Structure 1
Amino acid sequence: MLKRQFLSLSLVALGLAHGVALAQTVAQTPDGLVKQVSTEVLDSIKADKAIQGGDTQRILALVDAKILPHVDFDAMTEFAAGKAAWSQATPDQRARLQDEFKVMLVRQYAAAFAQVRDQTIEFGRVVKSPDNPGEVIVRTKIVGQRDPVPINYYLRRTGDAWKIHDLDVLGIRLGLSYQQQWMPIIKAKGMDALIAELAQRNKSAGARG
């Protein structure tokens, strides 16, 4: 439950902004990208009552159009599954795992978008990652709640673009938290069992409705 709350907070962070139009040149920087995506997502939420009401199809369309193009979803899924399991997975297994992961994230977006009120984001410094060369961290805080919530975005340059590949919410790396949930299932039962379990969770939650 606590991990789901952390994820919802991170998704709210990606959906909030200062409401300032950003020049294309600004968006080429890591913090500019986070600000631009936040602005576009927040504007879309405010303009669409169906999204505010949790319509998963409308949310999926928004995620596909505004968010996933800026996320290295392959890297995020690989990290959550573990490199060894990912390297041994078939193309079909990889595709099915990503499909279920995506549906799960859309369900979390639905919960997160319902929380958007008057919160804003404060942006801190962009720093180099101490662990991975070429990786930078965009430091942010959600303000407008009882206590500021620190959220850090990890980005890497992929070709000519910066892409988000992980998030840190209140000191917890979300990719790592998924890895800790998924890897025991993969080790004990295999990749197909993990995919089936995620599919069942999504079905039970009505994520495809």
Structure 2
Amino acid sequence: MTVRFASYRIGLYVAVFLLSGTVLGLAAHFANIFLPHLHPDFTIFALLIPALTIFVFLLSLQFAQPRTEAVSLFILWTLWLAMAAWATDIIGSTQCDALTSETMPTKNGEIRQKEYCYEMKVIQAFSWMLFVLFSFALTILIALVNQAQRFGRPHIWREPIQELGWFHEMPGYYNNHQQGMVQYPAVMYPQQQYGYQMPAVYQIHQGPGGPTLTQTV
């Protein structure tokens, strides 16, 4: 995995964790004041989707291939689209600041509609943001896999996702530091294709007269 790809992937995961955690917290508040008899369908759905998202991404941090990541992103993309559309259907174009003293029933009393409206607006906005994030992530992942296949990795879909490179960077290019040697992985790429030249492999050897540098092609 190139440094840029690793950084951007971690950045995506952090953003998803923060947004999903916020939605999960608001849904937990709704569950506390509404369940089991008031608004059960949306409240339970709003609990399950962010919890599933966090669980899937925690697994993907440890075990992921491009094909498994693509399937996960597509499923979550669909679920968050449904979540955003449902929240939009419930809250619609309601102006929260126009609400004053109106209240709505809860299982233990009442809650101000203005407070409920603001929380629903946050769930709506964050759900759409997550939908957009997953759209970009899935599109970029497919583009990077296609690029890796052009660079001579036809089976990249089932290889570790760490093998992917960022745009215009060959896949599998990470440094190995072992026994005083710095080299690139021994993977064959097209030598003269798409404007890229396979770099030479340099090896540093420690000899009696000091370190020597040898080059192999």
Q: TM-score with structure 2 length normalisation?
A: 0.23
Q: TM-score with structure 1 length normalisation?
A: 0.24
Greater C-alpha radius of gyration = 2
Task: Report which of the two has the higher share of strand.
Answer: 1
